[in-house]
Amino acid sequence: MKRGITVLAIVTGLLLSFSLYEALVAAPTERTMGDVQRIFYYHVPSAWTAFLLFLINFVTSVVYLIRRDVKSDMVALVSAEVGVVYCTVVLVTGPLWARPVWGIWWTWDPRLTLTFALWLIYVSYLLLRRFSTSSQTALIAAVLAVFGGLDVPLDYLAIRFWRGQHPAPVIGGGGSLDPRMAHVLLINWVAFLCLAWLISWTRYQLEVAEREIHEAQALESLMEPSR
């Protein structure tokens, strides 16, 4: 197990270093936006990775609702935690890109609004998991996750359903993207996926250890003679 994590960490480090060079040096400079467009190589892969993690959270939450499987619940929790991190990156890099291009930090565009709502839903999910002491916390959280998961496809398709300030999709949406830019975008996405995998794997092992400790403490307290 430790060897697998070590190998993944090395591969991830190499990919992140290579993707950084590709995004900041090798990729061609966009003619109208200039170098600020290079945020694209972090903003878009972060969004795709967040969507994938929230999809995993949705599927594992449904599995938990059906089977009450503890492993599914742990995967749902971990994917939500890492997904919120990536979604936060999206919400931070978006305004940094928008300010020099649009002249504003934020607008209540359908895509932006739905992404912010998605972030709020999953932050609420994590707050529920962190502070609720009810025995039904995992069940309630799974229901909330299913609700949040329904926002993912709506968010993804928002720029196809409604025309707003957010640019039209350049991949699969009638737009165009320089092949070299597409190449760098995919390299960065692979690097971000590996990083998400590494963080999730490590966090899952930590969650398993924490639950084992809590179970051992609960068992020990039950076995202690009453005073």
**Could you give the CA distance from residue 42 to residue 44 in angstroms, rounded to a whole number?**
6
Q: What does pTM read for this prediction?
A: 0.88
Backbone angles phi, psi at 145, to 5 degrees: -65, -40
Would 194 be classed as within a structural domain? yes
In a domain, 14, yes or no: no
Contact 8, 212 (CB under 8 A): no
How many whole angstroms separate alpha carbon 29 and alpha carbon 61?
Answer: 42
Q: What's the pLDDT tens digit per position in 128-179?
A: 999 988 889 999 999 999 988 888 888 877 666 656 556 656 665 555 678 8
Nearby residues of 147 by Cβ (< 8 Å), 6 or more positions away: 121
For residue 150, tell me if it sits in a domain: yes
Query: Is 143 contained in some domain?
Result: yes
In a domain, 98, yes or no: yes
Q: Could you read off the pLDDT of 93-135 as tens digits, one per residue?
A: 999 988 888 888 888 888 888 899 999 999 999 999 999 888 8
Half-sphere exposure of 93 (CA within 13 A, CB side): 18
Q: Which domain holds residue 128?
A: 34-163+178-212
Provide the domain count of the chain: 1
Q: Who's near 95: CB < 8 A, 6+ residues apart?
A: 105, 106
pLDDT band at 14 (very low <50, low <70, confident <90, very high): very high
